[in-house]
Structure 1
Amino acid sequence: MKNVSNFYKEPNNQPSSSHESFSHNFSEALFQVFNLQRNVLELKTLRKTTKVMMSIMLVATVASFIFGNDFTFSGWIGLITGIAVVLNLILVDQGRLTNYSWGVLGCVVWLIIAINNRLIGDIASQSFYLVMQFVGLYVWHNQINKQSTKNELTSRSFTWLSGLFWLIVTFIIYFIVLFFSKRLNGTQIYLDATLLPLGIVGQVLMTYGYRSQWIAWITLDIVNVIIWFNQLKIVSPASSSMFVLQIIMLINSLYGIYLWYFGQKDSTVKAN
């Protein structure tokens, strides 16, 4: 079977300036992320356990769409969101670069749903995630390219002091979002306001390969399960698909934290 590392090749001509170097590397990262052949290969070479998880998650996503009986535009957008997010999460679990191709799609369609549901924190979160997809694909591409093994990103760990810093950042952003959510008449503002700070912390830690990201994602997923259960009770747009998706994301996060903490135990990089 073809190895993912074959996609990484040393450039023949090095760019002459830092700007040209950035443009060259970013273009190469975009090409690798959205390369159809690489996307198929990285899905085919997942662990057997991961493939089983992916199959169950996809079946649950499609089933929730069918039984939710919401075949409106919002319903179909919810289905596309679910499929894109499942594939994105599964690829993140194993540190695969092409997770960002599905991440971009998932962010765009999720943003549409959040706007329709007037979830201010979710709108801010998905806007942030969308921007960070392009930052992440650039950082991951460069980091994987520097590794001896290029099949997946090697996880990193940091000190308790760094963890305390990110905890403080989370609370500061929470109160800022809560302030604006109250004035914009958002929905479920106290729960909804947690989405952006947790998302920012989780996304930044994910971008730079820190395994502690999963603590933020698990907390965020629990909050999202509660939020979309409440939305489901009032039959809001795409609520059934999104509720099932949150449960799927929570289960995936538990699987992801296992892989990043124990699945890569021998190759974890320590960082400050």
Structure 2
Amino acid sequence: MQFIGIYMWSKELDNQSTTRVKSLKWSGWIVVILLSIGLGVVFFYEIPAFAKLLTSQYFFESSLLPHILDASTNAISVVAQFLLILCYWEQYILWLITNIMAIIMYSGLIRTDLDINLLVVWIMLSINSIVGLYTWFNRRRNLDGTARV
């Protein structure tokens, strides 16, 4: 994916070697939402099967809400990665949603075990997402020629 991302980003450079900011239309958001839901359903069944194949256990098997959050964070992360590769500023919205869901999962709020190491990682990633969202949103707002796809 990294090589594809480098290639795609190099195509989005303007005259000053700055990445052009692209923004989703409503139809793009519909695709993002449907893709996230579809992948979430697939991951709901695939992740436990894969985890059991590798380790003979799946930590969230007995709890529905953590299981749904686990599948959702993975699905939204995949969609956010594609938005990242394609240079859409809305990727940071999806990253922030994913990070918040992961914080809820690993904070012990929903009767899961508190994992302080993962919690700190997801908090730091949330801060990164907020900074990225702020930066890209302002770049988009300040540029006249924003591409809408």
State the TM-score, normalizing by the size of structure 1: 0.45
Tell me which structure has the larger Cα radius of gyration.
1
Task: Specify every segment of 5 or more residues in structure 2 that has no aligned partner in the other structure, as ranges.
Answer: 61-66
Match of 1:165 in 2: 31
For residues 38 and 88 of structure 2, what CA distance do their matches in structure 1 show? 21
| Percent identical residues | 21
Partner of 2:16: 149
User: Which residue number in structure 1 is paired with residue 64 of structure 2?
Assistant: none
Q: Which position in structure 1 is the counterpart of 2:76?
A: 198
Cα RMSD between the aligned structures?
2.0
Could you tell me which runs of 5 or more consecutive residues in structure 1 were left unpaired when the two chains were aligned: 1-131
- Return the structure number with greater helix share: 1
> 1:247 — aligned with what?
123
C-alpha deviations, 1:141-160, integer Å up to 9, x for none?
2322xx1111x322111210
Query: Whole-Å Cα distance in 2 between the matches of residues 241 and 141 of structure 1?
Result: 35
Aligned positions, number: 133
Q: Point out 4+ residue stretches in structure 1 off by more than 4 angstroms.
A: none
3-state DSSP class of the match of 2:43? helix
Measure the CA separation in 2 of the matches of 1:201 and 1:234: 27
In structure 1, C-alpha distance between the alignment counterparts of 2:89 and 2:100, rounded to whole Å: 19
Shift of 1:199: 0.8
Q: Specify the SS of the correspondent of 2:107.
A: helix
Structure 1 stretch displaced more, 201-210 or 254-263: 254-263
> Could you state the TM-score of these two structures normalised by the residue count of structure 2?
0.78
- More relative contact order, 1 or 2 (CA 8 Å, 6+ apart): 2
Partners of 1:158 and 1:182 in 2: how far apart?
A: 33
